[in-house]
Amino acid sequence: MTSNTKFNQWWRPRNYQLRTKLIITYVLLTVVPMTILVYISYYQYTKSIEEQLGEYIPKMLDQANRNIDKQMTEFESLPELLYNSTRVLSILRKNHYSSQSERHNDIFTVNSYLSETYLSDKSPILGVFVSSKDRLFSSTNVSYTGQIPTKLTSSEDIILQHETNLRFKGKPPFFLLVKDIYDYENRRNIGSMSIALHLSFIENVLTEIKHRNESEISVINKEGRIIYHPDKHLIGTSVNMDDYPIHNGSFRTVKNNERMLVSVSESEQMNWILIHSIPFKHLTEKADLIKNITLIFFVIICSATVVISIFTAWSVSRPIYKLIHLMKNVEKENFQSVLKVNSKDEVGMLTISFNSMISRIRDLIQQNYHIELRQKQAELYALQSQINPHFMYNTLETITMAIEEDDDDTVVQMVSLLGKMLRFSLSNKDRIVQFNKEVEHIRNYLTIQKFRFEERLNFKIDSDIDLIQHYSPKFILQPVIENSIKHGLETRRGTLTLGITIFTAEGIRPGTKDIIIRVEDDGTGIDQESLDKINKLLKSDPIARRDSGFGLINVHARIIMIFGEEYGLTVHSPTKGETVVEMRIPVIDGIESVKKYERKEEEIQ
């Protein structure tokens, strides 16, 4: 049996046991709906949380962007404080100094102004740098290293930390706000101011909207450069902008094999993008806790109800299985078994009816046993009586023709072959014989016919099975061969080639093998009317048609009586002048199989 066949048989619900059907029905009606209900409730709850946060967080990010824009506006206005000091502006307008002392004095003056004006303890400003005519004025809260950029690409710009080699003590994250200093009186630039801003002001704004510690908020520019990130090592690195296809909204994504809810808001002024991301598992912590508690109670309740359903199914199915066991005993022809009735339900009523049926069957067997045996014995004897005269008449006619030709050697060989054939035909000891004996019988018969028809008859016997190890019903080939010779040689002049092929094929019954015996000849063929008549007889009741005069019908009848209606004989004429007869029987390859079919043939006798 193939694996596909086994799967198909297993999958069909009608093949399940009753208790299995009851348990499956319970699961489908209770456990499955409850499971679906729990899943839908959990899914809707988590989806509700996701939708609420998906709407709430972008609004908070928009507000954070506005706060950052507001502070950046204030920072951008800081360079204008220089215009409040005419002394500082006059120093910046100077082109040269008469002495180093004067130069140092000016640097001290500007540095002091920068310190007093821009630096305070709570200010996010790390330092202020003014570059003018090869002079650098600076004031910082902490020491620094590196160079201050003096050349701008526009009137004002923001330089990120990775774009400059300027570093402060303690490596605080920062960026530079750079703006030109314009002398409105002389209408020219007299320098530039760079303000180093600590990113703490962004962090302070974002801390207000941070949903929980597990969430992550970052700021990037249009090019994907990270301006702010909780992980300072990532500041200045780039991100793939394709990962954030939606601006000013929320969307789902997968990051590091983890589902995330990502919210995005774009600044209108700075063109910065705020990104808030949080893993789904942290959004649904409370829901997961409720789900786990529910699942524990669900498993306990389902386990208890499954046990109850199994007990109920067992109590219902147990008397049915007892009845099935009784039926199997009856199937083995044990009609003495009786099942005790313990209930008055449907199963009890069925048991009472079955006990009554067994009793009635015992009576009928006693009445009809001998009549049926005699009838079947007469039917089989009638079939054999139709086959044997055919065989004897044709064989003796062949020997007579050889005697008339005074060919003593041929006569001796023919009589010897005839003796072997008669011993095979008249022996009633074996009803199922080895294939090699059946084939040897046909070879002897065809050899005798070869003596008669000489060059007009040719035959060939091929087999791809072990003829000694396989068995066939006795005497099923000769009537078919006789039929071919009768219609192919005796009724016309010409030659006849007979081919006998024996091979195995996929069985009609699943998981079995069958043996095909194919007899082909190139004689007269069969016209369509005769072929339709033969096939009609083969499909009808062959036992009732045994007096039709067709040896093929008798062989077919014997095969189906032994093996069943799935087997038997088929006839077709593929081309004009060609006839093919195929006999299909199951594989019989062991003593046990032989005994089984011999017992069956004895029963039908």
All structural domains of the chain:
16-43+288-329 (no CATH), 77-196 (3.30.450), 202-285 (3.30.450.20), 371-604 (3.30.565.10)
Please state the rounded mean pLDDT for residues 372-379: 48
What is the mean predicted confidence (pLDDT) over 285-289?
69
164 SS3 class: coil
Count of residues making up the chain: 605
Q: In this model, does residue 279 exceed pLDDT 70?
A: yes
Of 58-62, 187-191, 311-315, the poorest mean pLDDT is in 311-315
Residue 438 or 65, more confident: 438
pLDDT at 354 over 90: no
- Higher-pLDDT residue of 228, 330: 228
List, in sequence order, every residue forming a beta bridge with 505; answer none if it has no partner. Answer: 514
In terms of pLDDT, which residue wins out, 371 or 245? Answer: 245
Judge whether 433 and 474 are in contact, CB under 8 Å.
yes
Per-residue confidence (pLDDT) for residue 501, from 0 to 100: 96
C-alpha Rg value of the chain to the nearest Å: 53
* pLDDT value of position 461: 94
Average pLDDT over residues 345-363: 72
pLDDT above 50: residue 549: no
CB atoms closer than 10 angstroms to residue 225 = 16
Q: Is 604 helix (H, G, I), strand (E, B) or coil?
A: helix
Q: What are phi and psi of 562, to 5 degrees?
A: -85, -45
153 has a pLDDT exceeding 60: no
pLDDT band at residue 538 using 50, 70 and 90 as cut-offs: confident
- What is the rounded average pLDDT for all residues in the chain? 78
Q: What is this structure's pTM? A: 0.45
Rounded distance between C-alpha atoms, residue 554 and residue 378, angstroms: 14
What percent of the chain has pLDDT above 90?
A: 10
Highest mean pLDDT of the ranges 105-119, 289-303, 395-409: 105-119
Quick one: pLDDT band at residue 547, thresholds 50, 70, 90? very low
Task: Choose the most confident range, by mean pLDDT, from 196-200, 350-354, 517-521.
Answer: 517-521
* Residue 147 and residue 166 in contact, taking contact as beta carbons nearer than 8 Å: yes
User: Which pLDDT score is estimated for 54?
Assistant: 72
Helix (H, G, I), strand (E, B) or coil at 260: strand
Q: Which residue has the higher pLDDT, 17 or 533?
A: 533
The pLDDT value recorded for residue 30 is 73
Q: What pLDDT, on a 0 to 100 scale, did the predictor assign at position 29?
A: 74
Cβ–Cβ < 8 Å for 228, 203: yes
pLDDT of residue 154: 47
Distance CA(342)–CA(352), nearest Å, equals 10
Average pLDDT over residues 554-573: 86
Q: What is the pLDDT of residues 383-434, one digit of tens each?
A: 454 445 655 665 666 667 667 777 677 777 878 887 888 788 766 567 788 8
How many CB atoms are closer than 10 A to CB 469?
13
Q: Are strands 457-463 and 432-434 parallel, antiparallel or unpaired?
A: unpaired
SS3 state of residue 159: strand
Per-residue pLDDT of 482-521, as tens digits, reads 888 888 877 777 889 999 999 999 988 888 899 999 999 9
Residue-level pLDDT at 234: 83
Which pLDDT does position 212 carry in this prediction?
53
pLDDT at position 528 over 80: yes
Measure the CA dihedral 322/327/330/331, to 10°: -130
460 pLDDT above the threshold of 90: yes
In angstroms, the CA 489 to CA 400 distance is 17
The candidate with the shortest Cα–Cα distance to 76, out of 249, 214, 268, 269, is 269
Could you tell me the CA-to-CA distances from 385 to 329, 390, 426, 549, 599 in Å, in that order?
A: 38, 9, 12, 12, 21
Q: Find, among 573, 571, 451, 480, the residue nearest to 524 by Cα.
A: 573
Collapsed DSSP state (helix, strand, coil) of residue 168 = strand
Residue 378: what pLDDT?
42
